[in-house]
Amino acid sequence: MRNFWEKSKNKGRPIYALAPMAGYTDSAFRRICKKFGADVVYSEMASATALVYDPAKTLEMLKFDPVERPYVVQLFGAKPEHFAAAARIITEKIGPDGIDINFGCPVKKVAKQGAGAILMDNMPLAREIVKSVIDSTDLPVSIKTRTRVNNTDILEFLDFVRDLDIAALMIHGRTLKQGFSGSIDTAIIKKARDHFDGVIIANGGVGVAGLVAPEDKRDNAGSHAAGLLARTGADGIGIARGALGRPWIFKAVRTGQDIARSPRAVFKVVLEHARLTEEHKGGRGIVEMRGQLCAYAAGLSGARDLRRRLVGVKTVKDIEEVFRGYEGLRVPDNRF
């Protein structure tokens, strides 16, 4: 098994990963985050069932550029046989550096399929799914979980699958009931080390406004990440929503300081992101990334008007026109 996770851990510094987000972590965004220092990047959540019965669209979504390595494809689903087939397809046709299994998604639409976080509460089935993937690929297999789902906490879950060759674990530090809000349970992530021998990545809230723990004192991504590492003893940090509109967060967590950004520098990143998106997805790509475009505007002067203009763009040229009319660019600023 080609285990890049151990190599990453043995470098002696924290691993900073772009965590999977449906609708956001496409190839263009992954490349931008790699540019700013992400060590590992994940695909959007991909359906194991779709890869079995109607693979073309999903395979297109999972394509990647070599600069994205190490690149991990995340699967969700509820049937071991679908996971096994999907793992074989991904290994042969995509060739990523690893395959991840989603046991952490709290979204009701996913739960209704018996998939995502709800699987933690069905440990025999979850175990069968993990084993089916391990037996179907020579790539390292990882899992993403919650701290608790109904009657099962992460420690019980890890004990149940402990004999399986799981290379890495990303723990979202909240319960299924919490969803994406509330405090992170750093204590249970720290305890996971006694129940799991592979790489542990702590996830949840890094860089998201208002979610910094009181112990971190300064409300910035660098101090939050450092605090999360210190309190959990994890091998690294998974960043998701905190990277939306600010992919330079990976540089911030490495330096331990927030990075001042000028409008000119932000727009430069936006245009690069947009061009990569258009290159990867064609005309529909810019429409699909409108949400991310608006996220980039956060914190800039006149953000409300800027967002209003950005929600109507359809091409890279449209974005350039919006920027040309932005007052903030008329003030010289060499930050970032």
d(CA 103, CA 118): 7
d(CA 174, CA 203): 9
How many residues belong to the chain? 336
The answer to whether the annotation marks 298 as part of a ligand binding site is no
Residue linked to tokens 């069968």 = 128
> What beta strand segments (E) does 50-123 contain?
71-76, 98-103
d(CA 7, CA 19): 19
Residues 276, 56 contacting (CB under 8 angstroms)? no
The answer to whether the annotation marks 302 as part of a ligand binding site is no
Residues 22, 45 contacting (CB under 8 angstroms)? yes
For 10-35, give the DSSP string. Answer: TTSS-EEEE---TTT--HHHHHHHHH
Based on the residue annotation, tell me whether 294 is a catalytic residue of this protein: no
For residue 66, which of 21, 24, 34 has the smallest C-alpha distance?
A: 34
The answer to whether the annotation marks 172 as part of a ligand binding site is yes
The answer to whether the annotation marks 273 as part of a ligand binding site is no
For residue 112, which of 146, 80, 76 has the smallest C-alpha distance?
A: 76
Tokens of 16: 């900073």
Q: What b-and-e string marks burial along 291-304, b requiring 16 or more CB atoms within 10 Å of the CB?
A: ebbbbbbeebeeee
d(CA 43, CA 74): 6
The answer to whether the annotation marks 205 as part of a ligand binding site is yes
> Residues 45, 105, 139, 171: which is the catalytic one?
105
The answer to whether the annotation marks 167 as part of a ligand binding site is no
Tokens of 317: 């040229």
The answer to whether the annotation marks 307 as part of a ligand binding site is no
Residues 36, 250 contacting (CB under 8 angstroms)? yes
The answer to whether the annotation marks 21 as part of a ligand binding site is yes
For residue 72, which of 152, 168, 214, 155 has the smallest C-alpha distance?
A: 168
Residues 128, 116 contacting (CB under 8 angstroms)? no
Report the run of H or E that residue 52 belongs to, with start and end.
Answer: helix 48-53
Residue numbers in the known binding site for FMN are 20-22, 74, 144, 172, 203-205, 240-241
- Please give the annotated binding residues, written as ranges: 20-22, 74, 144, 172, 203-205, 240-241
Q: What residues act catalytically?
A: 105
